């Protein structure tokens, strides 16, 4: 059941801009998540095993955002707002509530740039607003020569296989529909890229699957692909490590021993894997001429 809460603040200033996502500010109109991705780094937090049960909307977020952006704009403190850092801005409830759309309207009014990160195709609904933000946003001085507009849209993928996605990210939009959204956002003239995070060892990080990723995204002429390997945390029933290992045992039993070996005593894959992973990603980046960073 959706909860309604009031927030004390909505716009959060980051300590330093992340080199991957270029976040000067973060903004989350919702808390918890109905996409229920097993590997989510939020796993193990207060939201519990089924994050959708703790889903909440911050009912006063639009009013708060107006006040905070007005103050930032008055001081000339323009920066990229990431929507969202702790959940997806285009959850299923967004179709009805339109909180993200209302926030984009405020962002447009105050001329702030925005970076949307999503596993949903619902972002295409807001192309009209995004095109206006793209034209009118005031970029931070140090990024004006690196970015071609005030909007960045990153689509997250861990696999291109709908069946595999249903196991590991059961509530998210299927990859096949997400791919159509990538094309539509790119066609709208917006900076469009891929957050290939996390890739699933021996499932979506095989040589064949990686070639398929890059062939697919090259054909779409995306602006960047940012890959990352899998990291899992915790041993509680709600933690990502437990949930992913259980899913592998159930659906990919032939990989169970490998996953247990790698993640029983560590949160991430071993150094030799990460070294080989980085080397392979660099080769693919050069082969397909797709940058691994925004801008």
pLDDT digits (tens, 9 = 90+) for 130-154: 999 999 999 999 999 999 999 999 9
In a domain, 18, yes or no: yes
At 142, list the tokens: 């140090």
Evaluate whether residue 143 is within a structural domain: yes
The answer as to whether 294 is a domain residue is: no
Asked if residue 206 belongs to a domain, the reply is yes
In-domain check, residue 222: yes
- Considering only residues 41 and 132, tell me which one the structure prediction assigns the higher pLDDT: 132
Report if residue 293 sits inside a domain: no
Per residue in 246-265, pLDDT (tens digit) is: 999 999 999 999 999 999 88
Residue 213 belongs to some domain of the structure: yes
Reported for 127-130, long-range contacts at CB under 8 A and 24+ positions apart, including other chains, are: 127/184, 127/185, 127/188, 127/190, 129/101, 129/104, 129/105, 130/104, 130/185, 130/188, 130/190
**Phi then psi for 269, rounded to 5 degrees?**
-70, 155
Instruction: Report the number of distinct structural domains present in the chain.
Output: 1
Q: What confidence tens digit (pLDDT) does each residue in 189-242 have?
A: 999 999 999 999 999 999 999 999 999 999 999 999 999 999 998 888 888 999
Average pLDDT over residues 84-97: 93
The domain of 245 spans 3-288
Q: pLDDT confidence of 1, banded at 50, 70, 90?
A: confident
Those residues whose C-beta lies under 8 Å from the C-beta of residue 15, and which sit 6 or more positions away, are: none
Angle, CA 103 vertex, CA 98 and CA 106 arms, to 5°: 135
Residue 44 pLDDT class (50, 70, 90 cuts) = low
Asked if the bond preceding 19 is cis, omega within 30° of 0, the reply is no
Q: What is the CATH number of the domain that holds 278?
A: 3.80.30.30
């Amino acid at each position: 059941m959706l909860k309604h809460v009031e927030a004390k603040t909505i716009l959060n200033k980051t300590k330093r801009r992340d080199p991957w996502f270029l976040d000067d500010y973060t903004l989350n109109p919702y808390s918890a998540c109905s996409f229920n991705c097993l590997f989510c780094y939020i796993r193990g937090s207060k939201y519990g095993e089924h994050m959708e049960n703790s889903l909440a909307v911050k009912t006063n977020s639009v009013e708060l955002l107006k006040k905070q952006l007005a103050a930032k704009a008055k001081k000339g403190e323009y920066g990229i707002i990431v929507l969202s850092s702790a959940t997806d801005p285009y959850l299923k409830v967004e179709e009805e509530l339109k909180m993200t759309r209302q926030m984009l309207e405020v962002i447009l009014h105050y001329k702030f740039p925005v970076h949307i990160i999503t596993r949903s195709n619902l972002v295409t609904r807001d192309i009209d607003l995004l095109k206006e933000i793209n034209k009118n946003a005031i970029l931070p001085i140090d990024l004006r020569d690196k970015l071609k507009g005030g909007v960045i849209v990153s689509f997250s993928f861990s696999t291109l296989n709908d069946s595999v996605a249903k196991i590991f990210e059961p509530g998210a939009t299927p990859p096949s529909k997400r791919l159509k959204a990538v094309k539509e956002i790119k066609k709208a003239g917006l900076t469009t890229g891929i957050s290939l995070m996390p890739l699933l060892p021996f499932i979506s990080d095989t040589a064949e699957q990686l070639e398929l990723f890059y062939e697919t995204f090259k054909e779409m002429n995306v602006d960047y692909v940012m890959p990352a390997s899998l990291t899992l945390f915790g041993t509680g029933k709600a933690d990502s490590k437990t949930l992913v290992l259980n899913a592998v045992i159930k659906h990919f039993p032939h990989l169970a021993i490998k996953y247990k070996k790698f993640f029983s005593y560590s949160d991430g894959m071993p150094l030799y894997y990460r070294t080989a992973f980085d080397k392979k990603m660099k080769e693919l980046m050069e082969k397909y001429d797709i940058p691994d960073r925004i801008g």
